[in-house]
Amino acid sequence: MTDRPLTLMAVHAHPDDEATGTGGILARYAAEGIRTVLVTCTDGGCGDGPEGVKPGDPGHDPAAVTAMRRQELQASCDVLKISDLEMLDYADSGMMGWPSNDAPGAFWQTPVEEGAARLAELMRHYRPDVVVTYDENGFYGHPDHIQAHRITMAALEMTTLTPKVYWTTAPRSMMQRFGEVMREFAEDMPEPDPAEAAAMAKIGLPDDEITTWVDATAFSGQKFDALAAHASQGENIFFLKMGKERFGELMGVETFVRVRDTTGAAVPENDLFAGLR
Ligand SMILES: [Zn+2]
């Protein structure tokens, strides 16, 4: 149809989000010969440090965390066979309400138009056929995820090149199974506080509102290994504890809501590139 490769662009907030949310599709589409472009918006400096030092604790050095996570991101990209990694290198804003939300250079403080203009440049360069990012709540309310959503949607408006656009989501049926597995593998974890539990309950969508189910179970080993590359981040350890097989059963199918389509492909669909090849 064209003289350039079919291209998938995933826009993520932090190093490791590419693996958790879209590791399956990135690995699967790379194996199908599709060019895969990952845009990571922040440096992940508010993540856990070496030896599990938490942000805000003494000895947490954002510069050291950033350097470590840059290497982890590269290792994850190698596992997932990502064609092109682009980093916008904004400072990680931390969780909602943290003082780092207001720090100079924080992604959350960056005007949407500025971030969008930089992302639009990348879109003009790669001309992605499919763009994937988060919904307007950033899937779970993290400011950098919300901001990644905002700059992506603004950049898409500026470029109008991309026929298919998706937001990551999770079916409620899966969230329920996820909760059960979590209790099984994380019995030493404290019960979530009510606010956290209420936030979790709002994540995802009823199954019949999901437009796109992509089976990447055959690539869940790569997804697991990509997450293992980010083992310094405490929240990933839960997934790794599950082991590859259980992980593949739970996390092998990735789901999306299609929010733009100019191809006319029917939904529900099982391929982000339906109508494009
Ligand atoms: Zn993130």
User: Which residues make beta-bridge pairs with 87?
Assistant: 40
Task: Report how far ligand 1's centroid is from the alpha carbon of 6 (Å).
Answer: 26
- Domain contains 178: no
Nearest Cα to 55, choosing from 11, 14, 10? Answer: 14
Task: Report how far ligand 1's centroid is from the alpha carbon of 48 (Å).
Answer: 12
pLDDT in tens, 178-224: 888 878 876 666 666 676 677 777 789 999 999 999 999 999 999 99
Alpha-carbon distance 152 to 131, whole Å? 9
- Domain contains 180: no
CATH number at residue 59: 3.40.50.10320
Contact 205, 172 (CB under 8 A): yes
Domain count, the chain: 1
Contact 10, 37 (CB under 8 A): yes
Predicted local confidence at residue 174, as pLDDT? 87
- Domain contains 192: no
pLDDT in tens, 54-101: 998 999 999 999 999 999 999 999 999 999 999 999 999 999 999 999
User: In 40-53, which positions are buried (b, 16+ CB within 10 angstroms) versus exposed (e)?
Assistant: bbbbbbbbbbeeeb
Task: Report how far ligand 1's centroid is from the alpha carbon of 144 (Å).
Answer: 7
Q: What is the extent of the structural domain holding 225?
A: 7-172+207-260
Task: Report how far ligand 1's centroid is from the alpha carbon of 16 (Å).
Answer: 7
Task: Report how far ligand 1's centroid is from the alpha carbon of 13 (Å).
Answer: 5
